[in-house]
Amino acid sequence: MKEKFLPYFLLFCALGLSLTAAYYSVIGLSVLFASVAIPVMVMGSFLEISKIAIATYLHDQWKKTLLGLKIYLTIALVVLSFITSLGIYGLLTTGFQENISKMEIGDKQIANIEVKKERFEQIKNELTLEKQTLDKDISQLRNALSTNTTTQTVDKKTGQLITKANNANRQAFEQQLKETQDTKNKLASKIESLNDSITSLDIQILNMEAESELGNELGAIKYVSEITGWDPKRVANIFILLIIFVFDPLAIILVITTNQAFKALKPVLNMYGEPKVEPQQQPHPQPDNTKEINQIEQEIERIKHSGAMGRRIEQAIAPLKKRLNNLRKKDNDNQITY
């Protein structure tokens, strides 16, 4: 990122975040004090502008400001930040309250339908038990109809077993069987009707849950509530507080950072109001060994032509050559450094 681009980018973020915080705060305060909304909006707007001005002034003139004024402005800045946070909290909680009310109404409607469904299921279970009892009675009546509708006697003269039909018992059993079957049919019809009602309520609950999922704006809060086991209102309150703790303080910090970034772009002026040029550091001059090298070379030549013995010449020249090599090596190193 270019050096000159960063201050303008910080300025864009600072203005955007500050204006957004101011807008939310003013709207939230007008909601909290709905009866005097317009005066509160005017007051809140100037308070937001004053907050930015105080933050900028304290940052630029902190060392020059008197202690009492410094303390008062700092307290005012904290209080104004609290007021801004209160307005944002009021706005966000108002929006959340509308959504949570819709969700609670939908949940209550579903709960009422669930109660009605449970009542139908309870009646259905009772009728089913009664129907099972009637099934047993019908089975017993049929057995009685097949066994208890005849009478057997022994002829005293011949000793033979005589079977005679008992029409009275037969008619009684048939009448009871018919009445029991009619009652069973009525119960079966009621059970079938209850099944239809329960199915209809199930479909109604599914439709209401589907509409609630499509129109509900609290999906994330509901999921977090299910994961943590917390009440949705508690989860929403934590989210709102996190937003508030970041929103307004970050706006103030961005304003201060933007001022600091633009200051860094301004050139430093000297006492005449001209841009101050920092002196460039010059490399340390390296010692010139040329003169000493020439002297050593001349001394070596003089010794060579002195007429002394070869061994003495070598002994005299050896330290001079060593010194000469060291000087030449230093000169080469200095040339590489430059």
Q: Is the pTM of this model over 0.85?
A: no
* Average pLDDT of span 79-100: 81
Confidence at residue 181, expressed as pLDDT on a 0 to 100 scale: 83
Per-residue pLDDT of 125-182, as tens digits, reads 888 888 888 888 778 777 766 665 555 554 555 555 444 545 666 677 677 778 888 8
Highest mean pLDDT among 24-33, 217-226, 288-297, 321-330: 24-33
Strand partners, 154: 161
User: CA quadruple 116, 119, 120, 121: dihedral positive or negative?
Assistant: positive
Per-residue pLDDT of 47-70, as tens digits, reads 888 888 888 888 888 888 888 898
As a whole number of angstroms, the distance between CA 39 and CA 33 comes to: 10
CB 149 within 8 A of CB 166: yes
Per-residue pLDDT of 209-257, as tens digits, reads 776 654 455 667 777 877 888 887 888 888 888 888 888 888 888 888 8
> C-alpha 116: how far from its chain's center?
38
| Residue 17 or 329, more confident | 17
CB 18 within 8 A of CB 255: yes
Give SS3 for 288. coil
289: which residues sit within 8 A by CB, 6+ positions away? 327, 328, 330, 331
Strand intervals (E) in 160-238: 161-165
